[in-house]
Amino acid sequence: MSMSEQMKFIVQELNKEPFNKSYNLISFDSLEPLQLLQVLNDVLAVIDPKQKLDIREEAPDQTAVRIFQILRVLKYKPPDHVSMSQFRAGIVQGEKPIIFPILEWLLQKVPELQKRAYLAKFLVKIDVPAEIMQDEEVNSIYVQYEELMEQFKELHKQSEQLKNSGFNTAEIRKDITNMEEEKEQLIKRIERLRRKVESHPNSQKMMTVAKNLRVERDREKRLAAQKQEQLTAITHLDQRIKRLEAQLRDMRQASIGATPSSMIQKLEEETRTNGFIVKEQLPKDVAQRKKMIQNLQKVVSVPAMGHSDLDELNVKITELNAEVNQLIEKRMRSGEPADDKLSLFRQQAGIIAHKKQGAAETLRAIRDEFNHVQRELDQKREVVNTAEGAEVLKGEDFKRYVNKLRSKSTVYKKKRAELAELRAEAGVLTRTDEILKQRNELINRQLSVVERKKGVAGYRETQEELEKVSSKKSELDEMKGRTLDDMSDMVKRLHNEIADRRNTLAPILREIRPLREKVRELGPDYDSKKQLYERQQAGFDSNMSKLDQEVRGYKEECRAEESRYHYLNCMMKILQVQQARVNAEMKSYVSSDTQDKKKTFRETYSKKIQEQENMSRGLRERQKMVKDNHEPNMKQMKMWKDLERLLECKKQCLDQLTHIGATSGANMMMGGYGESAPTLLEDDRLVL
């Protein structure tokens, strides 16, 4: 988003609720740094009411620290192209490129940030120094404080879930009303059943029997649940007994033929293996990971690099490679027979260490696989134990199945161990082969380039032949196991071959010497010209940076003047419109035409004032009339209500007499009152 669109969005949001600012683009752009900081503080005050204050009453450093803290709580991340020092300075000085992105980010997420600020008040932990935490009372209070914080988290989650569950008060009230109605219906039904039961002759006895029946049924349910729990516990115990018996059998079978010395030897081997893994393998892995983390942290902390930095690094790499090659040549020229002897033993030691490391990695992989298989086995056992209707072998069938399964598992474990070893060794060897091939190709290319530069092409092939001869010697030593005399004879022959090879290389080295002298002669000239070039380049860079700063300053002045021009142009137009209105008003006021005078603001507002005065006069008269007639009207209304109640009472009496006459006539037509007449009259009297 460009800066103009960003400013437009900020102005639109600030003019809405709850900010209610009356900014436009020009007035907002012309705000001073202190005013812009006050706007930022007002937005933060809407998010967190504790931030509401006038920044003029606060020191600038305190304002910056407070804004940093609230932004850290709200988890605001500065733009990638802005460093932390620039960000802090921009907030302290109220710079627009720093404040505008903050305002945009805050105005986009006001409800979310309000919630985060509310939660931060309860969830941001208090930093207590370690010396104070050593006090038991303080430590217990801090633990209680953390427990209350976790409890608050859970309650807040429940509250949010209830808010988002879709329930509202109207539905809950409706449910409560329905439940009350159902409760009343159930109470009436219970009363009706109670009256019916009480009329029965043996009601008390039947109630006692029903109560005892209900108690016994509840007790039966509890006993059934306890029985099921006991059966489940018995099943689990049986399974545990079977597992323990199987482990006991495995331990007994493993102990067959075992002696204390063999067990001690086995434990010593395991101890040595674990000691190698703990003391050598794991520290190397940890150091490698730490080194990788340090390199990554360095890469993250270093600012973005340009082409000039990359060129400098490439030049340094080239110089270091040349220095390394020179050291290798020097070492090869000054090589001694003792070093050649030690190189063979170093190769053998490296091979053994590599095999040892590979065996340790294989062991670790096998242990991980064993743990994984053990977890899968436990899961399978749980599935089999919980499966309903599973077939369980018993007696001789179970023993035969166990023996068959044990033999198969033994063979499977051996084959799996062999396969894992082969896979691990194949993986290690494949990866080693790939790495060595890549390194060999890279080194060969570098050496070829260096040899071509130095004019000694073919030197590497000669060195490789020498290494092949030495490797053949080591292979012959390992395969045939010659005696020390044979080895010394072979070493003499090899030294003779090496001397012959050096003699063949002597003319080439003599040809290289004048070239090296020429390089030394040209070196000072090259260094002086390089220094001159670097000084010229530095001067150009400094001039370029000064020109860039001047151009940026002129652009800022141009933008400021352009903004000021637009602002003054708008103000001029507004003043012109106001001036036109004033001229029109004066023209109408001075004109002799009555119609024009009636159109003036003075006449218009005078007319409206007269209308409002007439309206207020009429309302006062109406108010006086209502006050005068209030008491007689109230008395008359009360008399009408009494008359209405009297007529209603007469109507009810007439309806009751009509009902009594109709009932009496019906009884007389049926042949007299009989026994039901007094009951009916009693009921009617009760109704009356």
* pLDDT tens-digit readout, 40-69: 888 888 888 888 888 778 777 788 888 888
Q: What is the DSSP string of 455-473?
A: T-TTHHHHHHHHHHHHHHH
pLDDT confidence tier of residue 138, bands split at 50, 70 and 90: confident
Which range has the worst mean pLDDT, 178-182, 422-426, 569-573, 611-615? 422-426
61-72: per-residue pLDDT in tens? 788 888 888 888
pTM, whole model, 2 decimals? Answer: 0.29
Three-state DSSP class for 492? helix
The answer to whether residue 677 scores a pLDDT higher than 50 is no
514 or 222: whose pLDDT is higher? 222
Give the pLDDT confidence of 151-189 residue by residue, as tens digits. 888 887 777 777 766 556 677 788 788 888 888 888 888
DSSP annotation of 125 reads P
**Rounded (to 5) percent helix, strand, coil in the chain:** 85, 0, 15
Alpha-carbon torsion angle 207, 211, 213, 216, nearest 10:
-160
The three-state (H, E, C) secondary structure of 17-31, written as one string:
CCCCCCCCHHHHHCC
What is the C-alpha to C-alpha distance for residues 552 and 564, in angstroms, rounded to an integer?
A: 18
Q: At 647, list the tokens.
A: 């007529």
**CA angle 129–134–138, rounded 5-degree value:** 80
Length, in residues, of the chain: 688
pLDDT digits (tens, 9 = 90+) for 270-309: 787 778 777 877 888 888 888 888 888 777 776 666 677 7
C-alpha to C-alpha distances, 670 to 405, 630, 658, 678, nearest whole angstrom: 99, 61, 19, 15
**Cα–Cα distance, 268 to 449 (Å, whole number):** 53
Question: Which stretch, 85-99, 177-191, 447-461, has highest mean pLDDT?
Answer: 177-191
- Identify which has the larger pLDDT, 675 or 105: 105
Number of H helices, E strands in the chain: 22, 0
**Bond from prior residue into 79 cis (ω within 30 degrees of 0):** no
- Cβ atoms of 348 and 474 within 8 Å: the answer is yes
Whether 646 has a pLDDT exceeding 90, the answer reads: yes
**pLDDT of res. 369:** 85
Q: pLDDT category, 688, cuts 50, 70, 90?
A: very low
Treating both helix axes as pointing N-terminal to C-terminal, what angle do 110-123 and 33-47 enclose, rounded to 10 degrees? 70
Minimal CA–CA distance to 119: which of 52, 151, 73?
Answer: 73
- Residue 55 and residue 37 in contact, taking contact as beta carbons nearer than 8 Å: yes
Tell whether omega for the bond before 678 is within 30 degrees of 0, i.e. cis. Answer: no
Phi, psi of 256 (to 5 degrees): -70, 125
